[in-house]
Copies of this chain bind each other. A is one copy, B any other.
Amino acid sequence: MRMAELSRESGLSIATIKFYLREGLLPPGERTSPNQARYDQGHVRRLRLIRALIEVGGLSVTSAHAVLAAMNEGPFAALGTAQDVMIGPTEAADEWSQERYAELVRSMGWHVHPDSAAARQVRDLLATARDTGNVDLVAHWSAYAEHADALGRQDVDWMADRPDLEAMISGAVAGTVLGAAYFNALRMLAHQHYSVQRWPEEAAQQANRI
């Protein structure tokens, strides 16, 4: 397909697509003349993935580029880079959160990198829960790890069972970014459902708020 059709199919303007081509987020099409190139469904899927990384994942163009570059290195590298860029800067952990993190990882039997973005985020959030006057969240959150373990195992099985390497890699990235947002939205729906049961009067007054 030509550039105009690629724009229609992806829902992105020609100017945006040309920007992604220049920045190396989108591989060049097959050149058919000095001024024209042909694109295929792989380009459409790639553009939609870039859109999802930026719009759903909230990534910058630079971060999206890092993820796409890592996709050339295989599913493990793609997964790690997607994790890195999804998590912003974190504070240095204090002893209290370090101990709780170590206990969590030990109790789950996880072999994980203690300096990874996800590990730093866990320690940071434990400290933040404590410092915002919600230290009891830490005990409450102990139930989260079992659910995360079950989901994470199924996610990796799903990824590894995909038909080819390209699909595995795309699945690693889409699964990380879209899956996080999807679970979060489902958890919010469950909060709606159970909080209406819990506070029916407030819910009736605010029916148009939630």
Contacts and interface: CB of A to CB of B under 8 A. Distances in A.
Contacts of A151: 143-144, 147, 187, 190
Count the copies.
Answer: 2
B185 A110 contact: no
In which size bucket is the chain A interface?
35 or more
**Chain A contact surface mostly:** helix
Interface in A112-167: 112-113, 116-119, 121-122, 124-125, 128-129, 131-134, 136-137, 140-141, 143-145, 147-160, 162, 167
26 contacts: A48-B128, A58-B58, A76-B195, A77-B206, A79-B191, A80-B192, A81-B209, A86-B184, A86-B188, A87-B185, A110-B189, A113-B207, A121-B184, A125-B181, A133-B167, A136-B158, A136-B162, A137-B174, A144-B151, A144-B179, A148-B189, A152-B187, A153-B190, A156-B197, A156-B198, A184-B184
Interface of A: 45, 48-49, 52, 55-56, 58, 73-77, 79-81, 83, 86-88, 105, 108, 110-113, 116-119, 121-122, 124-125, 128-129, 131-134, 136-137, 140-141, 143-145, 147-160, 162, 167, 170-171, 174-176, 178-199, 202-203, 206-207, 209-210
